[in-house]
Structure 1
Amino acid sequence: MVGGAVAIAAPGSAQAAPVAAPAPVSSLDLTRYLGTWNQLAAVPQYFNLACARDTQANYALDPQGNVSVRNTCTTWSNMDNEIAGTATINDRMTGAQLHVSFPGVPTQDRIDGPTNYIVTALGPDYSWAVVTDPGRISGFVLARAPMLDTASWQRVRAGIVAAGQDPCLYLTSPTTGGLADIVPLCTL
């Protein structure tokens, strides 16, 4: 995940203007957000390449009041894959902007740092979430169940667009009991 703003030049302008990070949801109830999430789609990242199916994120409070992160998946060789980390809340106003770190992973091993995890859309019942980073390089569709209904997928795609991303950049993540194929999210 990448932090910071991206600069673009406006037509006819000699100066670059920073692009604002995606807006977080107005309020995230951390207690309701904790638990197990299934990854149903994602913008491909190097750390996801080993995962063939059943990618999950498990969030729980740790003794320091931070969020323990345990990501798991089944690899292409049918083995279990796991990485553990910590998330700290960087935005006490909404609670929806965090810094996630993974010990031993270059550039991601610092426990305190800039926001690299923004919840930008959330089902009213916390059944699904859209997460990205300030530069919109990463993106994840998370859900409590291994699949979503058509109406929920429409709300997810609208949330991705509202965050300034293209749903076609997201690829579906195969889940047991859910979608089996890897296809661009915009084709669903």
Structure 2
Amino acid sequence: MTSRTARTIGPRRTAFMAAGLVAAAAAVSTSGVATASPDPTPVPQLDLGRYLGIWHQLAAVPQVFNLACARDTVAEYHLDERGDVAVHNSCVTWNGGLNEIHGTATVNDRQTGAQLHVGFPAVPGQDQRYGPTNYIVTALGPDYSWALVTDPTRASGFVLSREVAFDPETWNHVRAAITAMGQSPCLYLTSPTTGGLSDIAPLCTR
């Protein structure tokens, strides 16, 4: 359930450029999307109960709504009173403040449970509780220790983890899953976490 925010863009763009992310994103964008099927394939079965809880973002395809985030991007999921998923996304900003937003995720694919619509009431154009799929879980660690998420167009991508860091073997699995899903690992930038990676770099260089 990707991080969104309704705050103004100006300060984010400044921070983004100060960190050198614009240059990095431009450099890796030439890698493009690998040859793939028309739609990303979801995992065969997502156990929503096991998927709930806290996830740390360890890498992502740069998005405008994440420009405010300097480190410790976290998603928290739990069931709401309707049986949908309550979403709470947060991160630490470049000036040390907290950026957070609340939303709702609803399952669109009852066969796999791995395709959802995520809406954020505070974001114009994304404020619908129900709608088309924009969140697809395409890979999962066998113990639900990590997940790979994208959207139908593959314009986004998020590497989520239960812990704040991966070992080298897990990173290898993640990069292989990104390639199998139809993206290049070079499109992803690492996300700094307290206790984990401290730099922002294309995932293909790690």
Equivalences for 1:107-122 in 2 at 5 Å?
A: 107-122=125-140
TM-score w.r.t. length of structure 2: 0.82
Aligned equivalents of 1:63, 1:149: Cα separation in 2: 37
Structure 1's consecutive aligned runs of 4 or more residues displaced over 4 angstroms after TM superposition are none
Q: Kindly provide the CA deviation profile for residues 119-148 of structure 1, in whole angstroms up to 9, marking residues without a partner as x.
A: 000000000000000000000000000000
Partner of 1:103: 121
Aligned equivalents of 2:182, 2:125: Cα separation in 1: 25
Question: Are positions 1:78 and 2:96 aligned together?
Answer: yes
Partner of 1:146: 164
Aligned equivalents of 2:177, 2:125: Cα separation in 1: 28
- The amino acid across from 2:101 in the alignment is I
Considering fraction of residues, name the structure with more helix: 2
Aligned equivalents of 1:91, 1:162: Cα separation in 2: 21
Considering fraction of residues, name the structure with more strand: 1
Partner of 1:67: 85
Q: Kindly provide the CA deviation profile for residues 45-96 of structure 1, in whole angstroms up to 9, marking residues without a partner as x.
A: 0110000000000000000000000000000010011000000000000000
- The amino acid across from 1:106 in the alignment is P
Aligned residue among 133, 138, 142 for 2:151: 133
Aligned equivalents of 1:98, 1:54: Cα separation in 2: 24
- The amino acid across from 1:61 in the alignment is L
Partner of 2:185: 167
Q: What is the root-mean-square deviation in Å for CA atoms of aligned residues?
A: 0.9
Aligned equivalents of 1:82, 1:29: Cα separation in 2: 26
Aligned residue among 165, 179, 182 for 2:197: 179
TM-score w.r.t. length of structure 1: 0.89
- The amino acid across from 1:79 in the alignment is G
- The amino acid across from 1:60 in the alignment is H
Partner of 1:6: none
Aligned equivalents of 1:115, 1:66: Cα separation in 2: 14
Aligned equivalents of 1:158, 1:25: Cα separation in 2: 15
Partner of 1:48: 66
Alignment length (residue pairs) = 171
Aligned residue among 169, 176, 182 for 1:158: 176
What are structure 1's unaligned runs of at least 5 residues? 2-18
Percentage of identical aligned residues: 68
Aligned equivalents of 1:20, 1:117: Cα separation in 2: 16
